[in-house]
């Protein structure tokens, strides 16, 4: 938690004036929960198309971090698209 949501270095603390010069040390614990999903289909006998993503909701110390408060969101989406060529012998 400290690596991703903590604000501890002098340079980082200076970016967040609302800290008043103090560090934000995120303690350990569960950072959130997520729901991954994907869908794959054969376009031909060799080509496979996959669409996938994940919804994530941050909790506890992670959602309270100034990084999330000022530059992020407690609810996050990520998505992707994949194309694969498969050879069967």
Q: Of how many residues is the chain composed?
A: 89
Q: Are 33 and 54 in contact (CB under 8 A)?
A: no
Neighbouring CB atoms inside 10 A of 88's CB total 5
- Work out the angle at residue 29's Cα, subtended by the Cα atoms of residues 71 and 64, and round it to the nearest 5 degrees: 30
Which residues partner with 77 through β-bridges? Answer: 55
Q: Could you tell me the pTM of the whole model?
A: 0.62
What domain range is 50 assigned to?
2-85
DSSP 27: P
Neighbouring CB atoms inside 10 A of 52's CB total 14
Instruction: Give the number of domains in the chain.
Output: 1
| Pairwise pLDDT comparison (37 vs 5), residue with the higher score | 37
Per-residue pLDDT reduced to its tens digit, 24-58: 777 777 778 999 999 999 999 999 999 999 999 98
| Pairwise pLDDT comparison (76 vs 15), residue with the higher score | 76
């Amino acid at each position: 938690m400290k690596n991703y949501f903590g604000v501890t270095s002098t340079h980082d603390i200076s970016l967040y004036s609302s800290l008043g010069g103090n560090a934000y040390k995120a303690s350990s614990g569960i950072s959130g929960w997520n729901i991954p999903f994907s869908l794959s289909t054969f376009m031909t006998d060799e080509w496979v198309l996959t669409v996938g993503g994940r919804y994530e909701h941050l909790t506890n110390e992670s959602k309270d971090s100034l990084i999330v408060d000022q530059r992020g969101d407690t609810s996050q989406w990520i998505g992707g698209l994949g194309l694969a060529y498969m050879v069967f012998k």
